[in-house]
Amino acid sequence: MSPDTIAGMYELLDQVTGYIYPNEIEIHWSILIVVYPYVTGLVAGAFILASLVKVFSVEAVRPTYRLALLTALSFLLVAPLPLLLHLGRPERFYEILLTPNPTSAMAMFGFVYAWYLMGVLLLEIWFEYRRDLVVLARQHDGRWMRLVHRVLSLWSSDISEAAIRFDKRAIKAITLIGIPSAFLLHGYVGFIFGSVKANPWWGSVLMPIVFLMSAIVSGIALVIFLYMVITALRRQPIDMPCVDTITSYLFYAVIVDFSLEALDFIHRLYQSEESVKILARLISNKLFMSLFVLQILLGMFIPLGILIVAKSGKFNEDLRKLMYFTAVILIQLGIFSTRWNVVIGGQLFSKSFRGLMTYKMEVMGIEGLLTALVLLALPFAILFVLVRVLPTTRLEEQAPRALPHAAGD
Amino acid sequence: MNKRDFLKGMILFFPAGGLLELAREAHATEGPAAAAPAASAPAAPATNGKASGIGKAYDAGSHFYGMGIEVDKCIGCSRCVEACKAENNVPAEPFYFRTWVERYSIKKDGEAVVECINVRGKHAGDRVEDEPDVLRTFFVPKLCNHCANPPCVQVCPVGATFATKDGVVLVDGTRCVGCRYCIQACPYGARYLNPATRTADKCTFCYHRLVKGLNPACVEVCPTQARIFGDLKSKASRLVRFARMNKIHVLKPALNTEPKVYYAQLDGEVR
């Protein structure tokens, strides 16, 4: 225990308003636990966008299908890191996998994560890319890239009609299982918070559903962002029908998300339980900026307004691109604030319902801002490598561009 | 073995492991029934010849511990807090407590001013009693409630926190991973992260003393006997007598945690 930590806690003590239980001065779930649901939300949202192509046959969003899968994978690989770094004894993390407590929601993490990574995402990506990997391995001149593609294809070489048909059927089946799995992955994170009866800010049956909807919002917004950036970097034209379609989905997802959160808010206010006074003080004192300004105004109302204006049909493509781009960035900001308000907000009031605490974020420490930023940047680095190895457009679609609707299922 | 056989084998292997585990668990729950948590249950004392006491083998199954607190007897001397910190090596800083004492001052307009007298905050030493608008004041000792339906045990991902047969909720510091879900789940703020071990920590009812037939340190030092410790399974227990002689209440009963720290003369303002 360093003297700095102790001095910091005395400082926090001076900022307490009202009464808190003495052990509550320390905020236990830090910014890393804000990053965790944010990242898994992006995974679930990106996957659900990808499955629109396969299950609901929304052909317009096909140009983003592979990108969405790779985005989901990049973020899923990073998702356990904030949890691991946050543990008091990270070297014992394997205990969660070896001796999980069956009554603990958190203990299910290993199973849900492993299932989603191995049973859904990697399988679907493998079947989607198998043909291209075989072809690429044959085309390559360089020995290394050939080896990489051979290994990634798991040394399969069959690209007969029958094999490709099987791949397509497998992808469809995996996506069908994948959608409920994606719901499980993120709904489960919501359940970790929603099931804490000691905390009235968290304990709500709506929590998993709110988490899920905000996950869909953030995942879709991220894929749009990445698609626009990557096409710009490659100096390729943006497929406007595709972006127009996805932003429509995004628009409806934001509306549903907002309605659910509004319902939760009104329900709490109307029920007016024991905790209502302290929660009112919480949102008006501690969360005013992050809840009303960042989450609701900048993260929801303004992007919704931008999308409505953009959809009014009076603007050319360039202006629409700019508006969509602004909207998706604001939405990311809003969803990150949503996670902040849940995780940090839930720890800023005493369970005696009599006082408020303060969270002072570290900057350099292992649970500090810098670690959080690195963890948020890491998926983009992984994605950068992934899109180099795995083409985001099917090989057969690459040669004559602008034929995105050619290959049906 | 070719690739196809290997994959088939894997597909069978993992679910089979899961089924075995389920079968094992189903078997385990059919086994010894959980100890009845009801305070009024006239459970039989030890029938196997073992009793508590120094020198004899300790049989956890024949005890079920709880604590009684007579609010009106507490004078706020904080000796319990000091004894607890010394006995259990609790960090001295005022952010780590296994037990603490709260002071309540209820004003004439109904406003309740609460303070933990063991934390030297901004208003330390303020003499609230002298204010003319005070209606009543009292002290309330707090500690882990050793709930019979403990949310901390439910949420611990690795099973490091557990309830013993004799009704004490403990943390296995060698297994705890420090995720702090238990701290979030405790409605009473009874847990902290021990800065030395980086694991969850809390009141143990001085379990190391219990098994020797001794009282917890806080009970031992209380000069007014505001804290009463006892075995709910023993008819001769002071706690059973306390429960018979007083109207008792527990903290936050609506959360269904079934606390085993029973308060007499508890004010409705106390949460």
**pLDDT digits 0-9 by tens, A285-308:** 999 999 999 999 999 999 999 999
In angstroms, the separation between the Cα of residue B144 and the nearest Cα of chain A is 12
Report whether pLDDT(B86) > 60: yes
**Interface A-B: count of C-beta contacts within 8 A:** 150
Among A21-25, A325-329, B18-22, B136-140, the minimum mean pLDDT is found in: B18-22
Instruction: Tell me which residue in B102, B115, B198 faces A89 most closely, judged by beta carbons.
Output: B198
Instruction: Tell me which residue in A6, A87, A92 faces B93 most closely, judged by beta carbons.
Output: A6
A328 φ, ψ to 5°? -70, -30
B125: left (phi over 0), alpha (psi -120 to 50) or beta: left
Predicted confidence at residue A324, as pLDDT, reads 96
Report whether pLDDT(B17) > 80: no
Tell me the chain A residues in contact with residue B115 when contact means C-beta distances shorter than 8 Å: 19
The distance from CA A160 to its chain's CA centroid, rounded to whole angstroms, is 37
Alpha carbon distances (Å) from A101 to A107, B147, B161, B241:
6, 18, 10, 37
Placement of tokens 């993120």 in the chain: A186
A368 φ, ψ to 5°? -105, -175
Two tokens, residue A354 = 């009599």
In angstroms, the separation between the Cα of residue A360 and the nearest Cα of chain B is 16
Tell me the chain A residues in contact with residue B121 when contact means C-beta distances shorter than 8 Å: 13-14, 16
Q: Strand A17-18 vs strand A355-356: parallel, antiparallel, or unpaired?
A: antiparallel
Q: Strand B261-264 vs strand B65-70: parallel, antiparallel, or unpaired?
A: parallel
Give the C-alpha separation, A293 to A334, whole Å: 9
In angstroms, the separation between the Cα of residue B3 and the nearest Cα of chain A is 10
Instruction: Tell me which residue in A16, A95, A198 faces B151 most closely, judged by beta carbons.
Output: A198
Helices (H), chain B: 3-30, 79-88, 151-155, 181-185, 207-210, 217-221, 238-245
Predicted confidence at residue B46, as pLDDT, reads 37
Give the C-alpha separation, A238 to A224, whole Å: 11
In angstroms, the separation between the Cα of residue A21 and the nearest Cα of chain B is 6
- The answer to whether A350 contacts B96, with C-beta atoms less than 8 Å apart, is no
Predicted confidence at residue B124, as pLDDT, reads 57
Q: CA of B157: which chain A residue's CA is closest?
A: A107
Q: What is the mean pLDDT of chain B?
A: 87
Tell me the chain B residues in contact with residue A195 when contact means C-beta distances shorter than 8 Å: 155
Q: Strand B112-116 vs strand B99-107: parallel, antiparallel, or unpaired?
A: antiparallel
Two tokens, residue A114 = 């492993």
Helices (H), A102-206: 109-114, 122-139, 143-152, 161-194
- Tell me the mean pLDDT in the region A141-154: 87
Give the C-alpha separation, B221 to B91, whole Å: 19
- The answer to whether B187 contacts A5, with C-beta atoms less than 8 Å apart, is no
Alpha carbon distances (Å) from A394 to A89, A132, A380, A398:
45, 7, 22, 6
In angstroms, the separation between the Cα of residue A14 and the nearest Cα of chain B is 7
Instruction: Tell me which residue in B96, B121, B177 faces A23 most closely, judged by beta carbons.
Output: B96
In angstroms, the separation between the Cα of residue A221 and the nearest Cα of chain B is 31
In angstroms, the separation between the Cα of residue B140 and the nearest Cα of chain A is 12
Instruction: Tell me which residue in B114, B151, B199 faces A19 most closely, judged by beta carbons.
Output: B114
Contact criterion met (CB below 8 Å) for B179 and A92: no
Give the C-alpha separation, B106 to B124, whole Å: 18
Report whether pLDDT(B48) > 50: no
Q: CA of B112: which chain A residue's CA is closest?
A: A354
Counting residues of chain A whose pLDDT is more than 90, the rounded percentage is 81
Q: Which of B103, B179, B183, B255 to mutate to test the interface with A (most CBs of A within 10 A)?
A: B179
Q: Which one of A95-99, A140-144, A263-267 scores highest in mean pLDDT?
A: A263-267
Instruction: Tell me which residue in A5, A13, A96 faces B158 most closely, judged by beta carbons.
Output: A96
SS3 call for A118: helix
- The answer to whether A198 contacts B115, with C-beta atoms less than 8 Å apart, is no
Instruction: Tell me which residue in A95, A350, A351 faces B158 most closely, judged by beta carbons.
Output: A95
- The answer to whether A22 contacts B100, with C-beta atoms less than 8 Å apart, is yes
Predicted confidence at residue B53, as pLDDT, reads 47
Tell me the chain A residues in contact with residue B157 when contact means C-beta distances shorter than 8 Å: 96, 100-101, 104, 106-107, 109
Residues B237-256 pLDDT 10s: 999 999 999 999 999 999 99
- Tell me the mean pLDDT in the region A195-222: 95
Predicted confidence at residue B24, as pLDDT, reads 75
Give the C-alpha separation, A35 to B183, whole Å: 20
Rounded to 10 deg, the angle between the A65-78 and A369-389 helix axes is 140
B66 φ, ψ to 5°? -155, 175
* B204: nearest Cα among B186, B214, B216: B216
Contact criterion met (CB below 8 Å) for A210 and A260: yes
- The answer to whether A87 contacts B179, with C-beta atoms less than 8 Å apart, is yes
Give the C-alpha separation, A81 to A85, whole Å: 6
* A203: nearest Cα among A214, A213, A190: A190
Contact criterion met (CB below 8 Å) for A222 and A328: yes
- The answer to whether B91 contacts A1, with C-beta atoms less than 8 Å apart, is yes
Tell me the chain B residues in contact with residue A18 when contact means C-beta distances shorter than 8 Å: 114
Predicted confidence at residue B122, as pLDDT, reads 53
Report whether pLDDT(A66) > 50: yes
Counting residues of chain B whose pLDDT is more than 70, the rounded percentage is 85
Q: Which residues contact B240 (CB under 8 A, 6 or more apart)?
A: B230, B231, B232, B234
Two tokens, residue A167 = 């791949």
Res. B129 pLDDT band, cuts 50 70 90: low
- Tell me the mean pLDDT in the region A335-343: 97
- The answer to whether A102 contacts B25, with C-beta atoms less than 8 Å apart, is yes
Predicted confidence at residue A3, as pLDDT, reads 77
A54 φ, ψ to 5°? -80, -40
pTM here is 0.88
Res. B121 pLDDT band, cuts 50 70 90: low
Two tokens, residue B138 = 């009292």
- Tell me the mean pLDDT in the region A360-378: 94
Give the C-alpha separation, B215 to B220, whole Å: 6
Give the count of alpha carbons within 13 A of A331, CB side only.
33
Give the count of alpha carbons within 13 A of A333, CB side only.
20
Give the C-alpha separation, A305 to B251, whole Å: 48
Tell me the chain B residues in contact with residue A13 when contact means C-beta distances shorter than 8 Å: 94-95, 119, 121
Res. B43 pLDDT band, cuts 50 70 90: very low
Among A157-171, A311-325, A391-405, the minimum mean pLDDT is found in: A391-405
Report whether pLDDT(A31) > 70: yes
Q: How many helices (H) and strands (E) does chain B have?
A: 7, 11
Instruction: Tell me which residue in A18, A96, A198 faces B157 most closely, judged by beta carbons.
Output: A96
Predicted confidence at residue B34, as pLDDT, reads 41
Tell me the chain B residues in contact with residue A346 when contact means C-beta distances shorter than 8 Å: 184
* Residue/partner pairs of A140-149 with CB below 8 Å, 24 or more apart: A145/A389, A148/A389, A149/A389
- Tell me the mean pLDDT in the region A31-51: 95
Tell me the chain A residues in contact with residue B185 when contact means C-beta distances shorter than 8 Å: 196, 198
Per-residue b/e over B226-250, b at no fewer than 16 CB within 10 Å?
bbbbbbbbbeebbbbebbeebebbb
Predicted confidence at residue A401, as pLDDT, reads 43
- The answer to whether A352 contacts B159, with C-beta atoms less than 8 Å apart, is no
- Tell me the mean pLDDT in the region A211-221: 95
- The answer to whether A23 contacts B25, with C-beta atoms less than 8 Å apart, is no
Cα–Cα–Cα angle for B151, B157, B158, rounded to 5 degrees: 115
In angstroms, the separation between the Cα of residue A304 and the nearest Cα of chain B is 35
Predicted confidence at residue B36, as pLDDT, reads 39
Predicted confidence at residue B123, as pLDDT, reads 57
The CA dihedral of A236, A237, A241, A245, to the nearest 10 degrees, is: 50
In angstroms, the separation between the Cα of residue A110 and the nearest Cα of chain B is 10
Predicted confidence at residue A365, as pLDDT, reads 87
Kindly calculate the radius of gyration of chain A based on its CA atoms and give it in whole angstroms.
23
Instruction: Tell me which residue in A9, A87, A109 faces B178 most closely, judged by beta carbons.
Output: A87
Alpha carbon distances (Å) from B222 to B77, B87, B93, B137, B144:
9, 14, 22, 20, 17
Give the C-alpha separation, B163 to B171, whole Å: 9
Res. A238 pLDDT band, cuts 50 70 90: very high
SS3 call for A213: helix
In angstroms, the separation between the Cα of residue B183 and the nearest Cα of chain A is 8
- Tell me the mean pLDDT in the region A124-149: 89
Amino acid at B74: C
- The answer to whether A197 contacts B184, with C-beta atoms less than 8 Å apart, is no
Two tokens, residue B129 = 């009693």
Predicted confidence at residue A1, as pLDDT, reads 61
* A19: nearest Cα among B87, B122, B41: B122
Q: What is the mean pLDDT of chain A?
A: 92
Give the C-alpha separation, B36 to B167, whole Å: 10
Tell me the chain A residues in contact with residue B25 when contact means C-beta distances shorter than 8 Å: 102
Two tokens, residue B133 = 């608008």
The distance from CA A43 to its chain's CA centroid, rounded to whole angstroms, is 5
Give the count of alpha carbons within 13 A of A330, CB side only.
23
Placement of tokens 């305070």 in the chain: B39
B190 φ, ψ to 5°? -85, -10
Give the C-alpha separation, A357 to A258, whole Å: 28
- The answer to whether A101 contacts B198, with C-beta atoms less than 8 Å apart, is no
Give the C-alpha separation, B50 to B62, whole Å: 8
Q: Which residues contact A102 (CB under 8 A, 6 or more apart)?
A: B25
